[in-house]
Each structure stands twice: as structure tokens, then as C-alpha cells.
């Protein structure tokens, strides 16, 4: 009897904690309603960033979502809205991840942490975790993650100061895992 009571109490406590954690999160729609992610309530809504390319019209729109409590914790993303974008399918995601990792490794400021691909609702979502090391010591922890919507790439970069990685890495993972595409 005591064992059953203990199990019920533990289950209730864990369930309460999980509900409380999700209560502090919000779901936002992205890419003209074709995708969604969950974010902590401490993040603002996405703000579109003007992108200026010399003598050219950008094919992607860029947004940034900033944490209200610490402006150095942010999530940026881009999604192509006009013709001329790189076409990418779900099967192309592993190759795109390799290209991204190769490009990042060319930077002397890049320090590799981890990468991989996971399946979320039958979609390949790839991620790359890394540090960008600055000369002034203001290093950042970054998590690049991406998938496709139809034949378009949607790409995110979560970043925070490297010294805050322990606090924010699990949040970045949760955000990436919450990505849902409505193909």
C-alpha cells in the first residue's frame, strides 16, 4: 500500500512539474503558418530584420526573437519567401548539414561541439552545436538547426554567451524538438 501511495505521489509531482514547465512556454506560428515552434514566455515575438544585399533583392526573410530577461540569448531564423531560393527536400537535409558543417569549420573562430539528425513527425531536422570564439573572450554557444518546408529550407540559430551554455542548451534542444512543419 505504501509503495502504491509513493508511486502515485511521485507521478503526481512529476506530472505537475511537466505541466508547469509547459505552462511557461508558448507556441508561435512561423513561415506564413506553415511551421510552429514552442518558446519560453521570456522570449519576444519574432521581429523581421531588414536584409540588404548589394544590387539584389533578398530571397529570404530574416527574423530574430530576443529573450526579454537577457538580450544576449536569442533565436534567429530565415525562410525564403521569393523565387530564386535553393530548393531542398527532406532527403537533402543530411547533405545540407554536411555542407553547413564544412563551411563552419573553415572559420578559425569555430569550435565544434556536436551534430546530428533526428526525425520529428517524419521530417529530418538537423542540428549543429558549436562555439564561436571571439578575440575579446565574448564567446558564444550556438545551435544551428534546420529542416525543409515543401522545397524551402527553414533555418534557425539559437545563441547565448558560452558561459550560459549549461543554463540554455536544454532550452535550445527543446525549441528545436518543438519544431513542427505543416506540409
How confident is the model over 17-59, as pLDDT tens digits? 443 456 899 999 988 888 999 999 999 888 877 665 555 555 5
| CA-closest candidate to residue 109, choices 126, 130, 92, 90 | 130
Against a cut of 0.85, is the pTM above it? no
For residue 89, pLDDT beyond 60: yes
The CA distance from 98 to 103, in Å, is 9
What's the pLDDT at 4? Answer: 43
- Please compute the mean of the pLDDT values over residues 149-168 and round it to a whole number: 94
What's the pLDDT at 67? Answer: 86
Considering only the top CATH level, what class is 26-181? alpha beta
The CA distance from 179 to 157, in Å, is 13
Q: CA Rg, the chain, in Å? A: 19
User: What one-character DSSP code corresponds to residue 136?
Assistant: T
More confident residue, 76 or 129: 129
How confident is the model over 99-157, as pLDDT tens digits? 999 999 999 999 999 999 999 888 999 999 999 998 888 899 999 999 999 888 999 99
Query: Hey, is 159 helix, strand or coil?
Result: strand
What's the pLDDT at 74? Answer: 92
Show me where the domains of the chain are located: 26-181
What's the pLDDT at 54? Answer: 53
Cα dihedral across residues 108, 77, 174, 117: positive or negative: negative
Backbone φ and ψ for 3, nearest 5 degrees, come out as -65, -45
> Which helix (H) or strand (E) segment is 110 a member of?
strand 110-120
Q: Are 172 and 158 in contact (CB under 8 A)?
A: yes
What's the pLDDT at 45? Answer: 82
The CA distance from 76 to 66, in Å, is 8
Amino acid at each position: 500500500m505504501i509503495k502504491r501511495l509513493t508511486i502515485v505521489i511521485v507521478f503526481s509531482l512529476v506530472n505537475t512539474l511537466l505541466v508547469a514547465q509547459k505552462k511557461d512556454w508558448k507556441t508561435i506560428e512561423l513561415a506564413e503558418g506553415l511551421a510552429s515552434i514552442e518558446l519560453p514566455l521570456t522570449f519576444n515575438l519574432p521581429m523581421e530584420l531588414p536584409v540588404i544585399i548589394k544590387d539584389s533583392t533578398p530571397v529570404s526573410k530574416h527574423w530574430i526573437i530576443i529573450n526579454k530577461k537577457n538580450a544576449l540569448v536569442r533565436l534567429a531564423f530565415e525562410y525564403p519567401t521569393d523565387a530564386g531560393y535553393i530548393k531542398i527536400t527532406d532527403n537533402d537535409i543530411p547533405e545540407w548539414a554536411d555542407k553547413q558543417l564544412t563551411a563552419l569549420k573553415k572559420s578559425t573562430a569555430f569550435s565544434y561541439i556536436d551534430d546530428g539528425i533526428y526525425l520529428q513527425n517524419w521530417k529530418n531536422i538537423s542540428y549543429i552545436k558549436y562555439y564561436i570564439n571571439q578575440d575579446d573572450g565574448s564567446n558564444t554557444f550556438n545551435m544551428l538547426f534546420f529542416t525543409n518546408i515543401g522545397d524551402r529550407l527553414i533555418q534557425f540559430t539559437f545563441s547565448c554567451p558560452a558561459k550560459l551554455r549549461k543554463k540554455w542548451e536544454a532550452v535550445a534542444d527543446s525549441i528545436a524538438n518543438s519544431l513542427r512543419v505543416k506540409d
